[in-house]
Structures are given as C-alpha cells and as structure tokens.
Amino acid sequence: MTTTTIRRVPWTCRWGRFGVAIEDAGPAPRVDEVFWTCHQPMRDLRLTRRGECEECPHWESVPPVRNES
C-alpha cells in the first residue's frame, strides 16, 4: 500500500479561503493580486502568508468531498 503525505498548505486546510483582487480596467478587468485568508474561529480574520499556514497549529485537513450518487 502506498501512502501519501498531505502538504500543509492553505488549499488543503479547511480554514483557508482563496481570494482575488480585480483591477477595474474597463471592459477587460485583470487579476491584480491573489491572497489567502484564515477563517479559523479562534483567530481574527486576516490575510495569511503560505509559510504561516504550513506551520499553523490550527491547520486541519479539508474533509473529503462526498460523492453524491
């Protein structure tokens, strides 16, 4: 049996949220910036850096997606 290590990065943490800032460039808006926020209830909502998420004691694996059949 092969095991896989889950990387402790924002997109695998149940508290992490991804956001995008859009530059209003008229008819063709552009992505200006991407960022992560932490929605862990014991912390204030704030922007986070990748390194913070990788070492956070509140990091929790994202629950598996249920297959709705």
pLDDT value, residue 54: 76
Compute the average pLDDT of residues 51-63.
82
User: Residue 61: is its pLDDT beyond 70?
Assistant: yes
User: Residue 41: is its pLDDT beyond 60?
Assistant: yes
pLDDT value, residue 9: 74
| Distant-in-sequence contacts of 3-9, Cβ < 8 A, 24+ apart | 6/61, 7/54, 8/53, 8/54, 8/55, 8/56, 8/59, 9/50, 9/53, 9/54
Predicted confidence band at 63 (pLDDT cuts at 50, 70, 90)? Answer: confident
Compute the average pLDDT of residues 7-22.
80
